[in-house]
Amino acid sequence: MKYVIVGAVAGGASSAARLRRMDEKAEIVIFEKGEYISYANCGLPYYIGNIIKQRDKLFVQTAASFNQRFNIDVRVKTEVISIDAVNKTITARDQVSNKEYTESYDKLVLSPGADPVRPPLPGINLEGIFTLRNVADTDYIKKYVDQHKSGKAVVVGGGFIGLEMAENLFHLGLDVSIIEMGNQILAPIDFPIAAIVQQHIRSKGVDLRLNTSVAGFEKNNDRLKVRLNTEETIDADIVILSIGVRPDTRLAVQAGLKLGNAKGIFVNEYLQTSDPNIYAVGDAIEFANPITGQSMNTYLAGPANKQGRICANNIVFGNNEKYHGAINTAIVKVFDMTVATAGTSSKNLGASKIPHMLSTTHSSSHATYYPGAQQMHIQIAFSPEDGRLLSAQIAGYDGVDKRMEMLSSVIKRNSTIYELMEMEHAYAPPFSSAKDPVNMAGFVAENILQKRMTPFYWNQINEIESNGILIDVRSVKENLAGTIPNSINIPIDELRSKLNTIPKDKTIYLFCEVGLRGYLSQRILNQNGFDKVYNLSGGYSSWKHCNAESKIASETILEK
């Protein structure tokens, strides 16, 4: 058998190595249009920022070592330009000699990746404007940054890569602005979690501009001038475009392969394209979202590597291993914070008309009596019918990764919030609490699901009708330090003695700092004849972050 693989980074390299492990006698040829194979895409921003000091650390394998270890014919700087699916051949161009030739295959694997979005804005091709997708991009950026270490950087796009680049450029000493067209950073997460991270970014002195887009670029002596849709301009020494990526489907289209609704290469559950002899993996493919059932792309290294393994197994042994899709579990370091997500956000669940309930908790990363505990903000979405966990989002500092992996495993297995309640974690004071933040998220979700606690949310404060009363149940000292406008203060420890001052014919809206005392107060009122009582999900902490960011967004829109 002869296997040909197009693309030698995550999915392609993984497919090739697995094919060799499963079939020692096969002929395997892998084509890569770039100079490097099997490199750590996710490490590129950290090499630019000098966190990763040695460039060689980015390379898992070289073409020579891959060939030596796996006996695979690796052809770098060679671009596959067409596929003849009828005759089962590809045409390749050697980019050094510019010669074209054909290569036959029995089975073909496409792993062409995705292309960065580079919109046709005026001046988009000026010197100093970069996208970051591969090692060559990284080398250009690093060389340029080394010449402008005390300059100004503008990062266009507030996604995962954009935030990583902003942080690393900031640590190099550059003054950084982030320009984001949407009303929040990190589109896969919901606003209440994004707001917390945005406040953290602003606290570092980074200029974060939301609801703002770039209209074009100009050259001004040796500097760039970034023109915004607000009619403002920002002088810059370097611009990083991190607007997004799109699946590279050029070969698939040329070969007549089917594309899906998300404009990616359509694959079945075995990662097989519409041609039975051609498989595809990685950023270029699309598949059904396990939660919404709708077609989606995912641009993550983890799924691509797993797809490569499954694809190779199906090629060698016949289609006997299904790929069950990705729930897009992702994590990013944003200065001192860590942000993680898995599943489908509330806004996307709503857009897909999937009923769900939300719970927000703010727990300590480990036992509060052990030094160094920091707050961890968790939002989960779950089905009102059976408690199935649909998404989880965390913003925090220490231990975010392990909590997200716990939550992600529950989402992946279609399990419920009830499992969160019983999840057994490794506990000692430096690492967790007897009731882990994941347990707490489950407890609160169960209270909501069982109607023991009825939540309302930060963006519903202004909708409280004239017949409602907003009560702050925190201490007098906390209340004086800051509270929600038009609220009255009745500390929880005084609540029972002041029941007669609260009219039973009105709707009661409670809040505390993070939600716990509000819940306890709700239980007191419910069991003393108060029927219409609501507790602010996430408490004053959530409202404060969201309200602050909402005001900034409103001011930006008004300025336009």
Positions marked active-site: 42
C-alpha distances in Å from residue 27, one per residue of 18, 218, 318:
13, 51, 18
**C-beta pairs of 367-374 under 8 Å, 24+ apart in sequence:** 367/429, 367/430, 367/432, 367/433, 367/434, 368/433, 369/429, 370/429, 370/430, 372/398, 374/398
Report strand pairing: 2-6 vs 27-32: parallel
Residues contacting residue 175 through CB under 8 Å, at least 6 positions apart: 151, 152, 153, 207
Angle between helices 437-449 and 400-412 (to 10 degrees): 40
Strand segments (E) across 199-355: 207-209, 214-220, 223-228, 233-236, 238-241, 245-247, 265-266, 278-280, 285-288, 295-296, 330-334, 337-343
**CA-to-CA distance for 252 and 6, rounded, in angstroms?**
11
Residues in the chain: 560
Tokens at 303, concatenated: 């799924």
Of residues 81, 57, 19, the one with CA closest to residue 316: 19
Q: How far apart are CA 243 and CA 235, in angstroms?
A: 19
In the numeric block, which tokens belong to residue 301?
A: 């290294």
Q: What is the DSSP letter of 483?
A: -
Residues 158, 514: Cα–Cα separation, whole Å? 27
DSSP string, 59-92: BS--HHHHHHHH--EEEESEEEEEEETTTTEEEE
Query: For residue 293, how many other CB atoms are within 10 A of its CB?
Result: 11
What are the start-end ranges of the H helices in 318-358?
Answer: 346-351
* Distance of alpha carbon 31 from alpha carbon 107, whole angstroms: 14
Residue with structure tokens 């990583």?
164
CA pair distance 131, 205, nearest whole angstrom? 24
Which two tokens mark 473? 């149940």
Sorted by sequence, the CB contacts under 8 Å of residue 236 that are 6+ apart come out as 128, 151, 152, 153, 154, 177, 223, 224, 225, 226
350 bridge partner residues = none
Q: Do 435 and 422 meet the contact criterion of CB atoms below 8 Å apart?
A: no
The token duo for 327 is 């729930």
Q: How far apart are CA 414 and CA 160, in angstroms?
A: 26
